Amino acid sequence: MTRTVIAQGTFDILHPGHVHYLEEAAAMGDELYVIVARKANVDHKEAPICPATQRRDVVGALQAVDEAILGHEADIFVPIEEIDPDVIALGHDQHHDAEAIETELERRGIDCAVERASGREPTGEDEILSTRHIIDRILERRG
């Protein structure tokens, strides 16, 4: 039986922290689906710079990812219902409340675990593991 994992995020400017998260999520099962947030659903931080289809295509090109899809604009749980995963892998620093997700999954009759991936430290002083910090550095150097 195939163990299906879902990871999700904005993935605006892909960086090594994203790759770590997705590789760890992939290791939680046999098949990794990644739901890429649409601009309308990003309300906890600045809106993404890159278009959703571009972010999906770049994430989908990663070796760890079996399929990358766009999130649903009105109900973020719709793709989860359609995929019916065994695990939802949250990033170590994602704003999501795991208990609230588990409650909503149960309400919808979706039986899956919610696990949080580990974080990772930069491997060098110049490595940046944050889209916001990448943008800040670009503005600092080229703004």
Which residues fall in the annotated binding site? 10-11, 15-18, 93
Q: Are 26 and 65 in contact (CB under 8 A)?
A: yes
Helix residue ranges, H only, 64-119 = 78-83, 98-107
| Strand 113-116 relative to strand 31-36, pairing | unpaired
Half-sphere exposure of 100 (CA within 13 A, CB side): 5
Which tokens go with 28? 């939680």
Q: From the annotation, which residues make up the binding site for ATP?
A: 10-11, 15-18, 93
